Chains A and B, each alone.
Chain A
Amino acid sequence: MPSVAQTVRVKVLFFGRLKDVVGQAAESLDLADASTIEQLFARYSARIPELAKYRSSVVASRNQEFASWDTRLHSGDEVAFLPPVSGG
């Protein structure tokens, strides 16, 4: 059984007020292969505690498609954290 997960690089995007909270719009990040979107968000929340309060109002996407929080991430994936949309 492998004890160390392989590390992969994903692209992470923040929009709207989340971009303001995080202080950047996009970042490439290394994380363990098959990490979940939930784990990725938790990593940012640990760094930026204010982010945690938005968790219940955020929807995530993986490769431009809405994705559930238990979606597992792999090399080259593009993940975005989307606050409630307000177009129109």
Chain B
Amino acid sequence: MAPPLHHDDIFELVREPIDPRPLIQHVRAPEDGAIVTFDGFVRNQSHNRATLYLDYEAYESMALAKMREIGAQLHEKYGIHRVAIVHRLGRLEIGETSVFIAVSAPHRAAAFDACRFAIDTLKRTVPIWKKEYFEDGAVWADGELPPAPVATRGAKPAS
């Protein structure tokens, strides 16, 4: 198997506020013509209940592996130039960025499509969870089920 191409991408889990500017700067290059960014931040309510704050946790080693996988898919499917995906963990207040994605590409269509694919896939496959805190208690947010691998019947699961 050929060694993976080196892409100068960024995949990080952080506990401090996310500053989008260096991430956008990082993916920007003279050969590009477009950058699309996604800024996901903490909403002040959930199912019409006022949210106080959120607490995010991750299965960090697997989450980073899955984020890298998403990056590889963006190169393969959309021919992007670079991607930066940063997710914050711990306690986040209303309005703070929980996830930031920046994608650069020669043309806008690939950048838009790839950025949309990245956040949609992250929300389905990256093992991160948020607990929502309200005035009267806290609940784990309803999440999405990652696609379950089918039974292997002696075969090694596809990797």
* Chain A residues near B (Cβ < 8 Å): 13, 15-17, 20, 57, 59, 61, 64-71, 80, 82-88
Whole-angstrom distance between the Cβ of B37 and the nearest chain A Cβ: 14
Residue of A nearest to B130 (CB): A86
Mask for B133-151, Cβ within 8 A of A = 1, else 0? 0000000111111111111
The closest CB in chain A to the CB of B143 belongs to A84
User: How far apart sit A58 and B127, CA to CA, in the bound complex (Å)?
Assistant: 12
- Name the interface size band of chain B: 35 or more
Which residues of chain B come closer than 8 Å to A61, judged between CB atoms?
Answer: 59, 62, 127
Contacts of A15 in B (CB 8 A): 57, 59, 127, 129
Q: Are B146 and A17 touching (Cβ within 8 A)? A: no
> Whose C-beta in chain A lies nearest to the C-beta of B156?
A71
B95 within 8 A of A: no
How far in angstroms is the closest Cβ of chain A from B137? 13
Chain A residues contacting B143 (CB-CB under 8 Å) are 16, 83-86
> Are A68 and B152 in touch, CB under 8 angstroms?
yes
A84–B126 alpha-carbon span in the complex (Å): 10
How many angstroms between the C-alpha atoms of A59 and B122 in the bound complex? 16
Complex Cα distance A76/B127, Å? 21
A84 touches B142 (CB 8 A): yes
Chain A residue with minimal CB distance to B61? A64
Contacts of A65 in B (CB 8 A): 62, 65, 157, 159
Q: A86-B140, A87-B129 are in contact. Are A59 and B59 (CB under 8 A)?
A: no
| Closest A residue, CB atoms, query B139 | A17
**Residues of B contacting A13 in the complex (Cβ-Cβ under 8 angstroms):** 59
Asked whether, in the complex, the Cβ of A66 is within 8 Å of the Cβ of B146, the reply is yes
Some 18 contacts from A to B, beta carbons below 8 A apart, are A16-B57, A16-B140, A57-B145, A61-B127, A64-B59, A66-B147, A67-B157, A71-B157, A83-B140, A84-B142, A84-B144, A84-B145, A85-B126, A86-B123, A86-B128, A86-B130, A87-B123, A87-B128
Interface flag for B58 (CB, 8 Å): yes
Q: Does B111 contact A (CB under 8 A)?
A: no
Q: How far is the CB of B143 from chain A (nearest CB, A)?
A: 3
